[in-house]
Amino acid sequence: MVNGNPIIEGFIEAVELIIALDPQVVEITIRSLYISLTATFFAALIALPLGALIYFYDFRGKHAVVSTLQTLYALPTVIVGLIVFLMLSNIGPFGFLRLLYTPGGMIVAQTVLIIPLLMGLTISALSGIDRDKRYTITALGASRLQTVTTIIAEARFAVMAGVLLGFGRAIAEVGTVMIVGGNIRGATRVLTTAIALNTSMANYSLSIALGIILLAVALGVNIALSLVQQR
């Protein structure tokens, strides 16, 4: 054993923290999963129908809407954090909801962050149903509504892949949860903000432990994604 190397010691301690189910590690992990899963759920609830609507209806400026959405995929998380912060703060229109520095506020922020991604990916998932398939559906005698439901059913795996990607972006981001949540211990501290804080305090073992968990979550998302994409 190499004595005195803080990285290696930190790593060993981190593994111990995880195996021992350290209460602080468990609490932060559960909060992170809860916030990002809830945000993904609400974002999907809003973005999937909107994306489908945009795909199925032809209107002026449709192309512009789709390119705007694609631009917003790369929306900086701190910008979303800033905007949601201003909206939820005392000086903003939604200050009365008292959501600032609460998990609820963080859910709102992450929901806003990934809605464009989920909408855009829903549109491309539906566009992935090629022209010949749409002709086939029409030729088989589908009504307008039956056409829509068949296309959505056919694109279900691609849409699910989009939702998984959205969850991946939500759980891995640090900008909005830091600004809107405030990284309050025991209340709004999540995996990413905890890693940032503990690293700056030279508390490497906790950072590494949380980092391993975050990576494991990302890995899990990836495995789920490849399973879905094989369908």
Partner 1 sequence: MTVIEAHGIRKVYGTLEVLHDVDLSVSEGEILALIGPSGSGKSTLLRLLDLIEPASGGELSVFGIDTVAERGRWLDLRRRMGMLFQRPIVFNSSVYDNVAMGLRYRRAPSGDIDRKVKEALEAVGLSRYIKSRATDLSGGEQQRVALSRVLVTEPEILFLDEPTANLDPGSTATIERIVTGLNRETGMTVIISTHDLAQGQRLAHRVGVMIEGTIAQTGPSHEIFREPKDRRIARFVGVQNIIPGRVVAQREGFTVVEAKGKEILSATPPPSDEVEMIVRGEDISLHRREPGHDEAENVFPATVTAIDPTAPFVNVTIHCGCDIVALVTARRAEALDLREGMEVWVSLQAKAVHLIQR
141 binds partner 1 (CB under 8 A): yes
Binding track, positions 142-161, relative to partner 1; x by CB under 8 A = xx--x---x--xx--x----
Closer by beta carbon to partner 1, 97 or else 142: 142
Contact between 109 and 178 under an 8 Å Cβ cutoff? The reply is no
231 binds partner 1 (CB under 8 A): yes
Closer by beta carbon to partner 1, 25 or else 151: 151
Burial string for 173-185 (b: 16+ CB within 10 Å, else e) reads bbbbbbbbbbbee
- Which 3 state secondary structure label does DSSP give 99? coil
**30 exposure class (CB count in 10 Å sphere: 0-12, 13-18, 19+):** exposed
Q: How far is the CB of 148 from partner 1 (least distance, A)?
A: 12
Contact between 177 and 101 under an 8 Å Cβ cutoff? The reply is no
Closer by beta carbon to partner 1, 91 or else 153: 153
67 binds partner 1 (CB under 8 A): no
229 binds partner 1 (CB under 8 A): no
**89 exposure class (CB count in 10 Å sphere: 0-12, 13-18, 19+):** middle
138 binds partner 1 (CB under 8 A): yes
Q: Work out which of 71, 127, 136, 226 binds partner 1, going by CB under 8 A.
A: 136
Q: N- to C-terminal Cα distance for the chain?
A: 47
Task: Note the residues at the interface with partner 1 (CB under 8 A).
Answer: 132-133, 135-143, 146, 150, 153-154, 157, 231
